[in-house]
Amino acid sequence: MLISRHGRRAAIAGLGAIAVLGVAFTGATPARAQDYPNKPITLIIPWPAGGSSDVSMRAIAEAASKRLGQPFVMDNKPGAAGSLGPATMAAAAKPDGYTLSQMPISVVRIPIIQKTTFETMRDFTYVSRLTGYTFGVTTKADSPFKTWADVIKYAKENPGKVTYGSPGTGTSLHIAMEMMAAREGVKFTHVPFKGGAETNAAVLGGHTMLQADSTSWKPLVDGGQIRLLNIWTAERSKVWPDVPTLKELGYPFVFDSPFGVAGPKGMDAAIVKKLDAAFREALTDKDVIETLARYDMFPRYLGPEEYRKSVQELVEVETKALTDLGMAKK
């Protein structure tokens, strides 16, 4: 087909426009990621203010904001054993990197126990795994329970009368206490709360005999108001070297529930990479290290792919454990 000189000019111009348009389209995602972030980022903390999760996440976010150049706006959204915040994010937030959530292990566990509005592996973009907890069981300082053996003896003599508070049904604290009770052939009565501030108040006020929680109880233990009966890490804590681990008490369990941050499904990989780099660097910040040490917490960093893989492995492990306990949904 013959094309006139004028036609050739028009065709060349048209091709040039298409080429420019093509560059614009192919460059749209990198350009958006390159500009990110250009406004504050909301970080959901699915626990009440003041507990170890809240304080540690605020310190990590403050350090990460220095690299990102934008502040984090904290949104405490407790409920459903720590899964309410992530569930709300999955249902309503845009995958633009401006809404993230701390991801407690209950995000893995609750969907195994009951029907939920989210699926663990489908509805989140996993960014960074950050740290893990030191868990333990405490009792009021003037309690007759001086050791864990005292608790078990009383529970055997008084079925169902040992009460304990935890951050909620389906949390590691709840599951572990039931596993210990089953192993001992006793029954505890579980009293669920929303977080450490409430479980602290419950055991201090004598509303529960025991408290099973992370180290939001540390100031009370150090101040002599409550007594630490056991811890759930693999080795004894350097902070409380006289307190036995579960393994030393005859239970083949270690619970530290590593957690991280995630966003809604479908986030841009380049934005995830920026966020991951900021959170990874935050774990080396002096203030973050001091804050984690205050609660006997420790870095458990994994990048996006490794973090997602570890969550998938947890789903498989927890499914078996909860099925064996008869707690998995039918």
Q: Strands 41-45 and 72-76, how do they pair?
A: parallel
Residue 268 reports pLDDT greater than 50 = yes
Residue 6 reports pLDDT greater than 60 = no
- DSSP 3-state of 19: helix
In this prediction, residue 29 carries a pLDDT of 44
Composition of the chain by helix, strand, coil, percent to 5? 45, 20, 35
In this prediction, residue 19 carries a pLDDT of 40
CB-neighbour burial class of residue 285 (10 A; exposed 0-12, middle 13-18, buried 19+): middle
Report the C-alpha gap between 202 and 139 in whole angstroms. Answer: 10
pLDDT digits 0-9 by tens, 59-79: 999 999 999 999 999 999 999
Residue 120 reports pLDDT greater than 70 = yes
Report the C-alpha gap between 223 and 207 in whole angstroms. Answer: 20
Written as six digits, the tokens of 182 are 């089953």
In this prediction, residue 254 carries a pLDDT of 87
In this prediction, residue 21 carries a pLDDT of 40
- The lowest-confidence range among 25-39, 49-63, 103-117, 158-172 is 25-39
Is the peptide bond prior to 219 cis by the omega test (within 30 degrees of 0)? no
Report the C-alpha gap between 243 and 112 in whole angstroms. Answer: 33
In this prediction, residue 285 carries a pLDDT of 97
User: Is the separation of the CB atoms in 235 and 171 below 8 Å?
Assistant: no
In this prediction, residue 7 carries a pLDDT of 45
Q: Which of 101, 21, 26 is nearest to 57 (CA)?
A: 101
Average pLDDT over residues 127-133: 94
